[in-house]
Amino acid sequence: MEQSTSLSAGRLATLVEGFDRSPAYVGLADALRELIGDGRVGYGTRLPSERDLTEAIGVSRTTVTRAYALLRESAYAEARQGSGTFTRLPGGRTRALDRALWPSDVGNGVIDLVCAAATAPPGIAAVYAEAAADLPAHLGGHGYFPAGMPDLQAAIAATYDARGLPTAPEQIIVTPGALAATAVVGRALAGPRERVLIESPTYPNAVQALRTGGGRLTTIALDPSGWDLDAVAATLTRQRPRLVHVMPDFHNPTGLVMSETDRERYAGLLARHDAVAVVDEAHHLLTLDEDAATGTPFAVPAKDAICVGSASKSIWGGLRLGWIRAPHTLVDRLTRARVGLDLGVPVLEQLVLTRLLTGDLEPVLRSQRARLREQRDATAAALGEHLPSWRFRLPAGGMALWCHLPVAGATALSTEAERHGVLLAPGPSFAPEGGLDRYVRLPYAIAAPQLVEAVRRIADAWAVVTAGGSRSATASGSDPVLVA
């Protein structure tokens, strides 16, 4: 049964202080929605009685009654007979109104801003053709490579060597994408009695992947300006997690890059508390600004860290290849866990990636970065024109803008935007335990003209939401799964 906490009338009065009183019941409801959506008032919290809140904030009983009614109508609260009013989020604790999960050609003029993945850069078809010519030489074998083809292991290891992290080929385990790699780590190292620390916001599929072995989730808020390492230290002391998931380079969805100083300190905290970092490096090659760069690999100061990489973001999502870079002491354990999930990835794809990594990958990356830079800048300019009240930090790399809305309403916006022909992933999709309803992720992975048109449509949808005209966020049916 769900455990609920209570919020005193005095505390809630402090939180809603200064709410708009014209009319008061609407202003109070809006203030409460913002608090619930942002997570400052937790999911499942018992709100004060109408009588107690009336006295605490100095309004009429009717004002509180009508405000609570608006919360229930918009799915931010529910009444339990004999127990009171409890907070909720539209669609549930981890609502993911993202319409992506089985990505396809959307059609009918709909613009998909859920799946943060670009089309293949020029030249990929030719590499596939060359790899296909290499395939006959491998047809005489069984085709199973649970840790990856030796040439590909060596090629991936060489990329870590080049970044200043000495790596032997046998430290590499090739997987069907970074998500599969993350699931292998969760299965191998985080059993039912182990805690897994993950940031909020974060890439939502990583949450479930790390729990493959039954690990128990605990979250820590990621500040919009960076990592709060004092909070990390306190959480490590209190929760004692076995695994800690971290994205230090172009974090998804915020775009943040961890400083060198913070990497050193974070690594020291993990060592002190016997926790293993699972380092998601899927975006580290997507540096878009010439004067920006990712930092030293996290596994340099954190010797026991497990790195997870992928070809999907930097090259193409259809090249379903990822990998684990593990310390020598964990390779056997991870390989055994991997065999319990699958026996290897297709030979042709491994030949393709081997060719890319051992050839001249830079033109491919240069093309990908140029497109993303143009698309990022077009999206930012369109937001400035059509949605000037939205705030965001222009990321130096990665694939998305993390937008802060002036008021809570991202979930309602995602529903209304769909009616305007745009599919969006609201902040709660990236919040493992709810909240973040004042945030929206806007990937800039499609062509610039489409992005500009999408922002124009989103602005129209936002006008409807802020005018109170959006219908319930629960009306749009079942939730798909977020892919990228």
The CATH code of domain 94-118+363-470 reads: 3.90.1150.10
Beta-bridge partner residues of 244:
197, 277
Bridging pattern class, strands 276-280 and 243-246: parallel
Domain at 132-285+292-359, CATH class: alpha beta
- What pLDDT, on the 0 to 100 scale, is given for residue 96? 36
CA-nearest of 211, 193, 189 to 330 is: 189
Length of the chain: 484
Residue that wins the pLDDT comparison between 83 and 470: 83
- What pLDDT, on the 0 to 100 scale, is given for residue 296? 92
- CA 166: distance to chain centroid? 29
pLDDT above 60: residue 376:
yes
In the three-class reduction of DSSP (H, G, I as helix; E, B as strand; rest coil), residue 209 is classed as helix
Average pLDDT over residues 443-461: 95
Q: What CA–CA distance (Å, rounded) separates 450 from 375? A: 9
Instruction: Delimit the domains of the chain by residue range.
Output: 9-87, 94-118+363-470, 132-285+292-359
Q: Give the range among 88-92, 105-109, 356-360, 373-377 with minimum mean pLDDT.
A: 105-109
Structure tokens at 19: 């709410």
Give the H or E element holding residue 66: helix 61-73
pLDDT in tens, 153-206: 999 999 999 999 999 999 999 999 899 999 999 999 999 889 999 999 999 888
pLDDT in tens, 226-284: 999 999 999 999 999 999 999 999 999 999 999 999 999 999 999 999 999 999 999 99
Average pLDDT over residues 405-416: 93
pLDDT above 90: residue 123:
no
SS (H, E, C) 4-52: CCECCHHHHHHHCCCCCCCCHHHHHHHHHHHHHHHCCCCCCCECCCHHH
- What pLDDT, on the 0 to 100 scale, is given for residue 38? 58
Q: Does domain 9-87 have CATH number 1.10.10.10?
A: yes
pLDDT above 60: residue 481:
no
Across 326-458, the runs of DSSP E, i.e. the strands, are: 400-404, 422-426, 439-443
pLDDT above 90: residue 399:
yes
- What pLDDT, on the 0 to 100 scale, is given for residue 101? 42
pLDDT in tens, 20-71: 888 999 999 988 887 776 567 877 889 999 999 999 999 999 999 999 999 9
Among residues of the chain, what percentage have pLDDT more than 90? 65
Average pLDDT over residues 305-321: 92
Q: What CA–CA distance (Å, rounded) separates 222 from 201? A: 6
pTM of the model: 0.78
Q: Are 100 and 483 in contact (CB under 8 A)?
A: yes
Q: What CA–CA distance (Å, rounded) separates 222 from 218? A: 13
Task: Print burial letters for 381-392: b (CB count within 10 Å at least 16), e (below 16).
Answer: ebbeebbeebeb
Structure tokens at 115: 């799946």
Average pLDDT over residues 141-156: 95
pLDDT above 50: residue 402:
yes
- What pLDDT, on the 0 to 100 scale, is given for residue 93? 52
pLDDT above 60: residue 316:
yes
Give the H or E element holding residue 293: none
**pLDDT grade for 482, boundaries at 50, 70 and 90:** low
Same topology between domain 9-87 and domain 132-285+292-359 = no
Q: For residue 108, which amino acid is it?
A: N
Q: How many CA atoms lie within 13 A of 331 on its CB side?
A: 17
Residue 273 burial (C-beta neighbours within 10 Å; 0-12, 13-18, 19+): middle
pLDDT in tens, 85-98: 999 876 555 443 33
CA-nearest of 170, 117, 104 to 320 is: 117
pLDDT above 60: residue 472:
no
In the three-class reduction of DSSP (H, G, I as helix; E, B as strand; rest coil), residue 399 is classed as coil
pLDDT above 80: residue 293:
no
Q: For residue 436, which amino acid is it?
A: L
pLDDT in tens, 51-64: 999 999 999 999 99
CA-nearest of 387, 409, 380, 358 to 456 is: 387
Average pLDDT, the chain: 88
